[in-house]
């Protein structure tokens, strides 16, 4: 019996096949060679005919040389933290491609001298929130707060904060730990459910760096409660810093209880910190907006260099702020009627293909630690619960949620342009 190893095509011969020229240019020789080796092993094991080697390699090669997998977010969570929160707009994606090469990110092309880094993104933010004296961007929301605490209260000075606002921001990271890591000391005031202006006034003294207001963006306290707005805290002789969390720049009609940067500054806050990859709908970033002198002080602090964002983030952020509506904004604006129509069309097509599918109403959420307790009317395609694993492990992966023995594919966070791809993914999963 001939040795099966003699039938395995040589690696160099496979790599020289014209069909692999494009993948070699797109993925690199090392990535293609790894896939060739895996397919050769299948030939040795007798699982694959040697003549099918090149075709098998083409089928198994990834589209891009990264471990990330494209996911259709059908969870009904608009800003799903585990899926990277906000999906970028086409304008932001185009900006990323532009910024991938050499750009004038820190160069004045007119004078040839060094220019202000990210001036386009800063100008866009300043125009979006005209009540801010100045703006600055760091690499995430926690970094924005760390920079503020370090520059305004580090080295043993105090941050005055309501006891009920000592929140955990996710994955075990707690606000008190974050602030104390800067060297600041926390001065808690009030009780878990109630705090007054007098509580703050009694706590403020010579050692106070600033008063911090934190929006409890991932939970709601109801009942016998009271809190103090930023406007009531002015006049205490120290800056008022407000961490609004979700990055809403202006009021939104569907989220009336969610604080926004413009209103918070107008109410009297000296500095607002927030995230860029939540309700703003942009890339991961931390925004600092407010009093010009304070923002300048933060920008010039040595820590700001360690927290600065790269040109890709600056480009995507500018396009997000200047450009058309983001997927996040479109999701918030989409009506339940439109979602029901899409769900019905998908369910009908799946039923025609022999898949047990139904269009059902659904309750979606904002997610990303924003707008707790707010339900968004939505619609979903309901399929058998047993399909959840096949959908999740497909290409693209489809992530839904299982409720009452059914897998619901909520359409709020699914781009309508992806409906055909979602339909085909469900069909493939059903066949598996």
| CATH number of domain containing 413 | 3.90.1150.180
Are 127 and 212 in the same domain?
yes
Tokens of 197: 């202006």
Residue 209 to residue 424: CA distance in whole angstroms: 57
Q: Nearest 5°: phi and psi at 272?
A: -115, 135
- Considering the domain boundaries, does residue 231 fall inside one? yes
Are 284 and 422 in the same domain?
no
- Considering the domain boundaries, does residue 388 fall inside one? yes
Q: DSSP state, 110? A: T
Among residues 274, 302, 324, the one where a domain terminates is 324
For residue 5, the model assigns a pLDDT of: 57
Among residues 308, 324, 340, the one where a domain terminates is 324
CB 314 within 8 A of CB 98: no
Tell me which residue of 295, 271, 334, 313 sits closest to 135, measured CA to CA: 295
Residue 242 to residue 230: CA distance in whole angstroms: 7
Give the chain's domain count.
3
State the greatest distance between any 2 C-alpha atoms of the chain, in Å, as a whole number.
Answer: 93
- Considering the domain boundaries, does residue 65 fall inside one? no
Among residues 324, 355, 376, the one where a domain terminates is 324
CB 321 within 8 A of CB 121: yes
210 three-class SS: strand
- Considering the domain boundaries, does residue 66 fall inside one? no
Are 45 and 183 in the same domain?
no
Are 313 and 412 in the same domain?
no
For residue 6, the model assigns a pLDDT of: 67
Tell me which residue of 302, 236, 301, 277 sits closest to 81, measured CA to CA: 277
For residue 1, the model assigns a pLDDT of: 46
Are 158 and 198 in the same domain?
yes
- Considering the domain boundaries, does residue 195 fall inside one? yes
Polymer length of the chain: 432
Are 305 and 424 in the same domain?
no
Are 236 and 302 in the same domain?
yes
Domain enclosing residue 186, as ranges? 90-324
- Considering the domain boundaries, does residue 396 fall inside one? yes
- Considering the domain boundaries, does residue 245 fall inside one? yes
Q: Cα 217 vs. chain centroid, distance in angstroms?
A: 15
CB 42 within 8 A of CB 53: no
Are 110 and 19 in the same domain?
no
- Considering the domain boundaries, does residue 379 fall inside one? yes
For residue 156, the model assigns a pLDDT of: 83
Residue 214 to residue 155: CA distance in whole angstroms: 22
Q: Please report where in the chains the tokens 């995507």 appear, as a residue.
A: 316
Are 334 and 368 in the same domain?
yes
Query: Which residues are 131's β-sheet partners?
Result: none
Are 137 and 250 in the same domain?
yes
Torsion of CA 75, 81, 83, 85, to 10 degrees: 100
Tokens of 221: 């306290």
Tell me which residue of 407, 402, 406 sits closest to 422, measured CA to CA: 407
How many beta carbons lie within 10 A of that of residue 386, not counting itself?
A: 12
Residue 290 to residue 239: CA distance in whole angstroms: 11
pLDDT tens string, the chain, 432 residues long: the values are 455 556 899 999 999 999 999 999 999 999 999 999 999 999 998 889 999 999 999 988 988 888 889 999 999 999 999 999 999 999 999 999 999 999 999 999 999 999 999 999 999 999 999 999 999 999 999 999 999 999 999 888 999 999 988 887 766 778 889 999 999 999 999 988 899 999 999 999 999 999 999 987 556 666 667 888 899 999 999 999 999 988 999 999 999 989 999 999 999 999 999 999 999 999 999 999 999 999 999 999 999 999 999 999 999 999 999 999 999 999 999 999 999 999 999 999 999 999 999 999 999 999 987 787 789 999 999 999 999 999 999 989 999 999 999 999 999 999 999 999 999 999 999 987
Are 304 and 400 in the same domain?
no
Are 153 and 293 in the same domain?
yes
What residues contact 337, with CB distance under 8 A and at least 6 apart? Answer: none
H or E stretch at 423: helix 419-431
CATH, residue 237:
3.40.640.10
């Amino acid at each position: 019996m001939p040795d099966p190893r003699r039938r395995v095509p040589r690696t160099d011969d496979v790599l020289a096949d014209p069909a692999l020229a494009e993948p070699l240019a797109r993925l690199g020789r090392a990535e293609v060679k790894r896939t060739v080796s895996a397919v050769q092993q299948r030939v040795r094991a007798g699982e694959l005919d040697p003549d099918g080697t090149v075709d098998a390699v083409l089928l198994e090669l990834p589209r891009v040389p990264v471990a990330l997998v494209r996911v259709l977010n059908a969870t009904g969570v608009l800003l799903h933290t585990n899926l990277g929160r906000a999906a970028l707009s086409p304008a932001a994606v185009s900006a990323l491609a532009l910024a991938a090469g050499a750009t004038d990110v820190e160069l004045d092309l007119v004078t040839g001298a060094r220019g202000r880094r990210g001036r386009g993104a800063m100008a866009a933010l300043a125009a979006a929130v005209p009540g801010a004296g100045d703006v600055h961007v760091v690499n995430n929301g926690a970094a924005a707060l760390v920079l503020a605490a370090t520059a305004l209260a580090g080295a043993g000075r105090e941050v005055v904060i309501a006891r009920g606002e000592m929140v955990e921001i996710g994955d075990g990271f707690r606000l008190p730990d974050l602030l104390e890591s800067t060297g600041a000391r926390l001065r808690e005031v009030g009780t878990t459910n109630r705090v007054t202006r007098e509580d703050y006034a009694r706590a403020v003294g010579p050692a106070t760096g600033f008063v911090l207001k934190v929006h409890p963006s991932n939970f709601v306290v109801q009942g016998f409660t009271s809190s103090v707005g930023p406007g009531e805290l002015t006049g205490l002789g120290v800056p008022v810093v407000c961490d609004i969390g979700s990055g809403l720049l202006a009021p939104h009609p569907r989220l009336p209880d969610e604080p926004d940067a413009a209103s918070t500054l107008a109410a009297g806050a000296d500095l607002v910190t927030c995230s860029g990859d939540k309700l703003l709908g942009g890339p991961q970033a931390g925004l600092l907006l407010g009093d010009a002198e304070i923002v300048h002080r933060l920008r010039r602090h040595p820590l700001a260099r360690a927290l600065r964002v790269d040109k890709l983030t600056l480009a995507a952020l500018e396009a997000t702020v200047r450009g058309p509506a983001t997927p996040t904004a479109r999701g918030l604006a989409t009506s339940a009627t439109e979602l029901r129509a899409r769900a019905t069309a998908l369910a009908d097509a799946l039923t025609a293909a022999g898949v047990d599918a139904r269009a059902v109403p659904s309750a979606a959420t904002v997610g990303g630690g924003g707008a707790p307790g707010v339900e968004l009317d939505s619609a979903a395609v309901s399929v058998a619960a047993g399909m959840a694993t096949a959908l999740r492990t497909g290409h693209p992966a489809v992530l839904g949620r299982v409720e009452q023995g059914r897998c619901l594919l909520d359409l709020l966070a699914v781009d309508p342009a992806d409906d055909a791809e979602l339909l085909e993914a469900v069909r493939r999963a059903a066949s598996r």
